Amino acid sequence: MSGQPPTLGVGMVGFGFIGKVHAHAYRSQRLFYDPPPALPRLVGVCTTRPETAQRAAEQGEFAFGTDRFEDLLARDDIDIIDVATPNPLHHDQVIAALEAGKHVYCDKPLAVTLDEARAIVAAAQARPELTHGMALHCRFVPATMRARQLIDEDRLGRVFHFRAAYLHSGYEDPQRPISWRLSKEAGGGVLSDLGSHIIDLMAWLLGPFGTVQASAETFIRERPVAAGSGERATVEVEDYVAFQAWMQSGALGFVEASRFATGLQDQLEFSIFGEQGALRFDLMNPNWLLFFDAQDKGGDLGGERGFKMIECVQRYPKPSALPSPKLGIGWVRYHIHAIHDLLAAVAEGRLGGATLFDGARVQAVDDAVRKSMQTGSQVAVPDI
């Protein structure tokens, strides 16, 4: 790349936890990539009220804050709309942004229903000149990127079966009060919240899901309306979901997502078993990808067969420049690389490494799993 990288104006809608993470990731680009593919400029942030918008602008160092989404869409100096709102709002905002000619970066899950997701897909297809990306940060971990490389190089051969899980805790206490996240308004329970990550990751690594058969449970069906309150409200979403999957490739799999995995934190893990090799990964030990190469042949003492702990640390491809590729990695870094990919995609006029289409594919699996949760029978994953 010759000359100065382009400047790209960013408008963000929503400034909760994930909005702050995105803002931090934009701000980190200049230092983490050398040269950066583009220089992001945080132009405007939109929240629900003028006061919070003002505070968001200060905290995130945006040029201005507003409570009117149209203010972002109207600005010529905003190239990218970063949708960091609760998922029930994504459909309208993403489509409006696309129609206003903005590139889009959307938090996961893409939408609440498959119909919404399809409408977004149609809007994106209507504007092929626009870049879009999804905040599926698990694709941007050095170890998962390396897993993808190994699969692309056919190092696993035919995949027989796999296991994948995203296990969290925090809801085991029946006295924990009800919250928005446990209501229908959240647009789904643990399946859309955590399941979307692991579904996307496995589809990215192993190709599309074919058929699923699911079960789910709401372990605690009523909770206090507030801490210590005797009044109770109904939990409207699932706490736990598990499903068997038949991939289009013929591989069998089992996928789990839980908010009731007592003692675990952010435990995203997978094992993939193939004819030529196997892969294992655990996001809480993200510095290594485990790879077994079935080509290794053993001797009397077993030769050198075994899982290799491939060192992944901060090993991103150039222009990654910070931190050193020898240092232990963590959660923030994945988002910085996800935003890097978005900016590079916009600069290069290509789609992002994870797109609205990918988000819609996750939604289609979500839709099938949700139907199977209710009927107990096998459900084919629909097209998007």
* 304 in contact with a second copy (CB under 8 A): yes
Quote the CA–CA distance of 45 and 59 in Å, as a whole number: 11
Residues 247-276 that bind a second copy (CB under 8 A): 252, 254, 256, 258, 260-266, 271, 273-275
Please name the helix (run of DSSP H) or strand (run of DSSP E) that holds residue 353, with its range, or none: none
Residues 218-247 that bind a second copy (CB under 8 A): 219, 239-240, 242, 244, 246
Among 40, 187, 277, 353, binds a second copy (CB under 8 A): 277
Minimum separation from the CB atom of position 239 to a second copy (A):
8
Nearest residue (CB) to a second copy, 21 versus 365: 21
- Mark residues 75-114: x for contact with a second copy by CB under 8 A, - for none: ----------------------------------------
Minimum separation from the CB atom of position 324 to a second copy (A):
7
Pair type for strands 39-46 and 64-66? parallel
Minimum separation from the CB atom of position 104 to a second copy (A):
22
Nearest residue (CB) to a second copy, 113 versus 285: 285
Nearest residue (CB) to a second copy, 64 versus 219: 219
* 319 in contact with a second copy (CB under 8 A): no
**Token pair for residue 186?**
């959240």
**Token pair for residue 281?**
């990964």
* 137 in contact with a second copy (CB under 8 A): no
Q: Please state the separation of Cα 162 from the chain's center in Å.
A: 20
Quote the CA–CA distance of 304 and 294 in Å, as a whole number: 10
- Mark residues 41-60: x for contact with a second copy by CB under 8 A, - for none: -----------------xxx
Nearest residue (CB) to a second copy, 164 versus 356: 164
Name the DSSP letter for residue 10: E
Q: Is the dihedral of CA 82, 13, 15, 116 positive or negative?
A: negative
Q: Please state the separation of Cα 138 from the chain's center in Å.
A: 6
CA Rg value for the chain: 21
* 20 in contact with a second copy (CB under 8 A): yes
Helix or strand or coil: residue 278?
Answer: strand
Please name the helix (run of DSSP H) or strand (run of DSSP E) that holds residue 378, with its range, or none: none
Q: Are 363 and 166 in contact (CB under 8 A)?
A: no
Q: Please state the separation of Cα 169 from the chain's center in Å.
A: 19
Among 306, 348, 350, 380, binds a second copy (CB under 8 A): 306
Q: Are 70 and 90 in contact (CB under 8 A)?
A: no
Minimum separation from the CB atom of position 252 to a second copy (A):
5
* 333 in contact with a second copy (CB under 8 A): yes
* 64 in contact with a second copy (CB under 8 A): no
Residues 151-180 that bind a second copy (CB under 8 A): 160-161, 163, 165, 168-170, 172-174
Pair type for strands 379-380 and 132-134? unpaired
Backbone angles phi, psi at 274, to 5 degrees: -125, 170
Minimum separation from the CB atom of position 39 to a second copy (A):
9
Residues 189-218 that bind a second copy (CB under 8 A): 213, 215, 217
Minimum separation from the CB atom of position 207 to a second copy (A):
17
DSSP class per residue in 116-179: HHHHHHHHHHH-TTS-EEE--GGGGSHHHHHHHHHHHTTSS-SEEEEEEEEE--S---TTSPP-
Minimum separation from the CB atom of position 222 to a second copy (A):
15
Q: Choose one: 23-31, 103-111, 178-186, 199-207; the region binding a second copy (CB under 8 A).
A: 23-31
Nearest residue (CB) to a second copy, 20 versus 118: 20
Q: Is 250 left (phi over 0), alpha (psi -120 to 50) or beta?
A: left
* 318 in contact with a second copy (CB under 8 A): yes
Residues 342-381 that bind a second copy (CB under 8 A): 376-378
Q: Choose one: 67-75, 91-99, 140-148, 341-349; the region binding a second copy (CB under 8 A).
A: 140-148
Cα–Cα nearest to 253, from 201, 197, 212? 212
Minimum separation from the CB atom of position 185 to a second copy (A):
21
Find the distance separating the first CA and the last CA of the chain, reported in whole Å.
36
Among 142, 187, 195, 359, binds a second copy (CB under 8 A): 142
